[in-house]
Amino acid sequence: MILGLAVIVVLPFVVGISWVLLVTELAILVLYAMAYNLTMGVTGMLSFGHGGLFGAGAYILVIAMIKGDIAMPYALLAAPILTALITFVIGWLCVRLTGIYFAILTLAFGQLIWATIWKMRTITGGDDGLTGLQIPSVMASPTNQYFCILAIVMLAVLSIKIIVDSPFGFTLKTIRENQTRAQCIGINVKRYQLLAFTASGLFTGLAGALFAILMRGAFVEFATVARAFEPLFAGILGGMHVFWGPAFGAGMLLSLDTFIGAYTEYWPLVAGGTLILLVLFLPEGIIGRIASIRKARAQRLNQSSA
């Protein structure tokens, strides 16, 4: 833990700027993947709408700063809160449905957000996006930006950790494991699902806003279906039922994208192939697999000592 912190603090002074930017991007993707996992991994709700929410967070920040002349700290506060409000409304309509129907309704809302961004040219700039975001000079250098964004991401991930480990988090996992049973022990399933979805939207909006800061603008690609698949991919890669699984998956995803992308333009081929193999042969994810091997070993040790 302390070692990790030390690495994070020292890193920008030993590596080049491109690495600093890459790690900053990684931090944002980690937050996005973990935010998404609050719905998918923790509560067991499959959502395809998070691309739209990510885009919403980014656009709210950029529109507030460029069109509304609002200072960055306030815009950065407004983006996740407004995204959470949007998520709440969407969630309120979606939690009536379950399984694949829930997923498709979230997909529809995600697409609705994407279409709105795409078509409302006067406000969002349409497919040109909104560029020229002015960052306060304190944060303008890549190193300072790195520290600010990493600090925010760590705070957010800590909050997610607290949520997941709280009684509330355990209730969510109960719902994931068995909805009927959860209902029978008196849990208001729909309400908890709505709360989990909203919390997930809050952090997704934050991730989107941070990404807009990193990219100095917002683009309609931020809100596509492909963007919605990213955190799900990260979760499957790392393992969505272990806390750090999606973070690890996000790291793998970004490094695959960056390093294989540098060798060949056919990176989707590699990504798709990896995904197919993972889903077929390692459905619990890499970190998930390691966790279950450890658990099995611990159980064996227990049995032999008893």
Partner 1 sequence: MGLDAILFQVLTGVGKGMNLFLLASGLSLIYGVLNVVNFAHATFYLIAAYICYTITGLFPNGYWLALILAPIGAALLGGICERLFSRLYDKEHYTQIMLAWGLILVFGDLMKLTWGSEGKMVPTPDVLAGGVPLLGGNFPITYIFVIGVAAAIGIALYVVLYRTKVGIDVRAAAADAEMTSALGVPVDKLYIIVFMVACWLAGVGGVIATLLSPIYLGGDLEIILAAFIIVIIGGMGSILGSLVGSLIYGVVFALGILVLPRFALVFLYILMVLVLIFRPYGLLGRPR
- Helix intervals (H) in the chain: 2-14, 17-37, 50-66, 72-94, 99-119, 121-124, 137-140, 142-165, 167-177, 179-184, 189-215, 225-238, 245-255, 261-263, 267-281, 286-305
Question: Which of 9, 115, 140, 151: binder of partner 1 (CB under 8 A)?
Answer: 115
Question: Which of 67, 96, 181, 294: binder of partner 1 (CB under 8 A)?
Answer: 96
Side chain identity at residue 128, one-letter code = D
Interface with partner 1 (CB under 8 A), residue total 36
The verdict on 233 binding partner 1 (CB under 8 A) reads: yes
Question: Which of 58, 60, 95, 107: binder of partner 1 (CB under 8 A)?
Answer: 107
C-alpha 68: how far from its chain's center? Answer: 27
Q: How long, in residues, is the chain?
A: 306
Binding mask 29-68 for partner 1 (x = CB under 8 A): -----------x-----x----------------------
**Distance between terminal CA atoms of the chain?**
33
Which residue in this structure is represented by tokens 């060798």?
263
Question: Which of 131, 162, 266, 298: binder of partner 1 (CB under 8 A)?
Answer: 266
Q: How far is the CB of 228 from partner 1 (least distance, A)?
A: 10
The verdict on 89 binding partner 1 (CB under 8 A) reads: no
The verdict on 111 binding partner 1 (CB under 8 A) reads: yes
C-alpha 295: how far from its chain's center? Answer: 27
Residues that bind partner 1 (CB under 8 A): 40, 46, 93, 96-97, 99-101, 103-105, 107-109, 111-112, 115-116, 119, 225, 229, 232-233, 236, 266, 268-269, 271-276, 279-280, 283
